[in-house]
Amino acid sequence: MNSAPYVGRFAPSPTGPLHAGSLVAAVASWLDARAAGGRWLLRMEDLDYPRCEPGAADIILRQLEAYGLLWDGAMLVQTQRDAAYAAALATLQDIDAVYPCACTRSQLAQAPRNHEGEIIYPGTCRNGLPAGATARAWRVRVPDARICFHDRIRGDLQQNLAHEVGDFIVRRADGLFAYQLAVVVDDAFQGITHVVRGADLLWNTPRQVYLQTLLGLPTPVYAHVPLITNAAGQKLSKQTRASALPETGRGTVMAQALAALGHPPPSELAGAEPAEQLAWARRHWQLENVPIRPAVANTAP
């Protein structure tokens, strides 16, 4: 366990405005930090800028404020952090933990996939590029060993990266640094002690723990909160056309988010301003009351 004072964070990707699902992750991390008397930092994960939507970052900031989710200090912006990611990649190169890869997406199309639907890299370039091939991406060599980690909601978990992920990308063929590398570098830079985020990221954690080990960075304490799904059982996201958080009736939306986290506000607070509901939830926050199962959105997504 980490005994440093609590520092949490919310790290949205500005691919669109926040929706009911991202609100749940934001509320959970805010409450967990505030209930512990901790700081709550904001990081705009605009690393994959071709996928970002112009104006979405500003909208997200306004949405957080309107929902009473105020953050501490200056926001960290990933597109300004290239030098830090490059330094981390250089460290990995120095210790020979990474290698260049020439594989294209179509060459890997037939590779086996894990339960998340991700390709398990078959190791084609692990022992050197094929003759005449050009390096495109950089991959981390993973061990054939269990990576163990503790999730405060899910308990003790483990994953064998070699079997379930394969050597994974830290710098992409388009030159962008990969999320896995950036998140580890940024969590350490921001001094994050506790990560509370959506369960869609649960199985990214072993990759991140492994990178922390390689880079000599501390491992935060993790908790993955349930996702909100639409009536079809799909995660709310831009791809499933989840609608942006509404500008009216915010109290109802906040009450639904709190209910999804196992903390339904008392009926007299159900229509109250989000900040008032948050103040109540902060006093009553018990992470063990957060369910593992996802909630279904009440409103049409």
Which residues here bind ligand GLU, judged by CB under 6 A?
Answer: 11-13, 45, 183, 197, 201
**Of 92 and 183, which has the nearer Cβ to ligand GLU?**
183
DSSP state of 229: E
**Of 101 and 184, which has the nearer Cβ to ligand GLU?**
184
Give the E-state strand segments of 145-286 in sequence order: 146-151, 155-160, 168-171, 194-198, 221-225, 228-229
For residue 120, the minimal CB distance to ligand GLU (Å) is 22
For residue 15, the minimal CB distance to ligand GLU (Å) is 8
For residue 2, the minimal CB distance to ligand GLU (Å) is 17
Cβ(167)–Cβ(139) under 8 Å?
yes
Q: What is the DSSP string of 257-297?
A: HHHHTT-PPPGGGTTS-HHHHHHHHHHH--GGGS-SSPEEP
Query: What burial class does residue 183 get, using C-beta atoms within 10 Å of its C-beta: 0-12 exposed, 13-18 middle, 19+ buried?
Result: buried
**Of 103 and 225, which has the nearer Cβ to ligand GLU?**
225
**Of 12 and 206, which has the nearer Cβ to ligand GLU?**
12
**Of 167 and 187, which has the nearer Cβ to ligand GLU?**
187
Helix (H) or strand (E) holding 41: strand 39-44
Torsion of CA 287, 291, 295, 299, to 10 degrees: -40
**Of 225 and 254, which has the nearer Cβ to ligand GLU?**
225
For residue 144, the minimal CB distance to ligand GLU (Å) is 26
**Residues whose CB is less than 8 angstroms from the CB of residue 101 and which lie 6 or more positions away in sequence, other chains included:** 124, 125, 129, 135, 136, 137, 138, 139, 167, 169
194-198 and 137-140 strand pairing: unpaired
End-to-end CA distance of the chain: 38
For residue 96, the minimal CB distance to ligand GLU (Å) is 27
**Of 47 and 272, which has the nearer Cβ to ligand GLU?**
47
For residue 186, the minimal CB distance to ligand GLU (Å) is 9
For residue 261, the minimal CB distance to ligand GLU (Å) is 16
